[in-house]
Amino acid sequence: MKILQVSDAYYPFPGGVSEHLYSLSKYLRKRGHEVWILSTSYGKDDEKFNGYVRRVGRVLILPLNKSQITLTFDPLLPLKVLRFLRERKFDIVHTHGPLAPNLPGWTTILSPYPVVSTFHTSFVGFNWYKVAKIFFTPVWKKIKVAIAVSETAKKLMEPYFKGDYEIIPNGVDTERFKPDGERHEIYSKINGKTVLFLGRLEPRKGPDLLLKAFISRKKDFEKENVHLIFAGDGPLKESLMKMVPEGLKNRVHFLGLYRLKIFRRFTGERMFIHPPQLGVKRSVWFWLRLWHPEFPLLQLTTKVI
């Protein structure tokens, strides 16, 4: 089949939706399908991820939901989307988060082909779907199959968009998540115990909470020779780096964007910590257990004020 996946968020922008599109497209192609991705431009780094990718407009990155949302800006966006749909003649269109004034929303409305949509979002505070119901019900009616990645995502939508939902958790790329993978080079530079944070550095993920806790127990971690590793990038990176006191700079490590190199396996970790301000998806724990069955995991429950 000819399949189109559509999202404002895609690499080089780091995050779960980008990874979802990348990995799903990879395995659909392995099954013999022709898969295209329609997204927006993030600038010069686009060329690293441009195989079977069409870019339209340019990205607008806005702070929202204690995270970042991506929107495509282009005055001719509907015309460009329609032209691309007509050029390629897809069998199915898979949009991600289309109930908004975004690229997936326009594609859903304009698509002459069957539309499947996946909904990834959990909200902190205000539920956007209360507003979306007023403006985007026509988009909802175009969707043939609605997929939620978790029960939480489904429950947020159901009061405002009635219908049948498929619950399909995010999958696991077993070619990358495996116990015998190549070890990350960070362990040649660290002689001691290590704690790992893996994810986007944004308020919703809680990296600042972890760093504050680490700083508060500075003497204990020095005594036990513990290092803290942040694998990821995001809007909090600079402020986190500034938070690290001089005496801990040799124990707190920032590796940057993890998509290109992180999965040369963090087998040296003594513990993985997840301190989000929302519940973690079960698939995160699943791939960690698959990746390393003896891996100690700790999720911190935090209160959003």
For the chain, domain boundaries: 2-167, 185-299
SS in 3 state form for 170-232? CCCCCCCCCCCCCCCHHHHCCCCEEEEEECCCCHHHCHHHHHHHHHHCHHHHHHHCEEEEEEE
According to CATH, the superfamily of the domain at 185-299 is Glycogen Phosphorylase B; (3.40.50.2000)
The pLDDT value given to residue 303 = 43
Percent of the chain with pLDDT over 70: 81
Contact 230, 255 (CB under 8 A): yes
Contact 17, 7 (CB under 8 A): yes
Contact 200, 233 (CB under 8 A): yes
Inter-CA distances, 90 with 7, 45, 180, 301, Å:
16, 27, 39, 43
According to CATH, the superfamily of the domain at 2-167 is Glycogen Phosphorylase B; (3.40.50.2000)
Q: Do domains 2-167 and 185-299 have the same CATH topology?
A: yes
Rounded Cα–Cα distance for residues 253 and 230 (Å): 6
The set of long-range contacts for 81-90, using a CB threshold of 8 Å and a minimum separation of 24, is 81/38, 81/56, 81/106, 81/107, 81/110, 82/110, 84/38, 84/54, 84/56, 85/4, 85/110, 85/111, 85/112, 85/113, 88/2, 88/4, 88/36, 89/2, 90/2, 90/3, 90/4, 90/36
| Mean of all residue pLDDT scores within the chain | 85
Using 50, 70 and 90 to split pLDDT, how confident is the model at 15? Answer: confident
Q: What is the DSSP letter of 124?
A: S
> Residue 273 forms beta bridges with which residues?
298
Q: What is the DSSP letter of 256?
A: B
What 3-state class would DSSP assign to 22? helix
The set of long-range contacts for 44-51, using a CB threshold of 8 Å and a minimum separation of 24, is 45/12, 46/12, 48/11, 48/12, 48/260, 49/10, 49/11, 49/12, 49/22
CA 297 to the chain's CA centroid: 20
For 45-98, the pLDDT digits (tens) are 999 898 899 999 999 998 876 677 899 999 999 999 999 999 999 999 999 999
Output the DSSP codes for 148-169.
ESSHHHHHHHTTTS-S-EEE--
Contact 258, 186 (CB under 8 A): no
Q: Which residues 6+ apart lie within 8 Å of 209 measured at CB?
A: 275, 300, 302
For 215-259, the pLDDT digits (tens) are 999 999 889 999 999 988 888 999 999 999 999 999 999 988 765
pLDDT higher than 60, residue 197:
yes
Tokens of 303: 């209160």
Rounded Cα–Cα distance for residues 199 and 258 (Å): 8
Note if the pTM is more than 0.95: no
160 versus 221: which is more confidently predicted?
A: 160
Rounded Cα–Cα distance for residues 51 and 25 (Å): 11
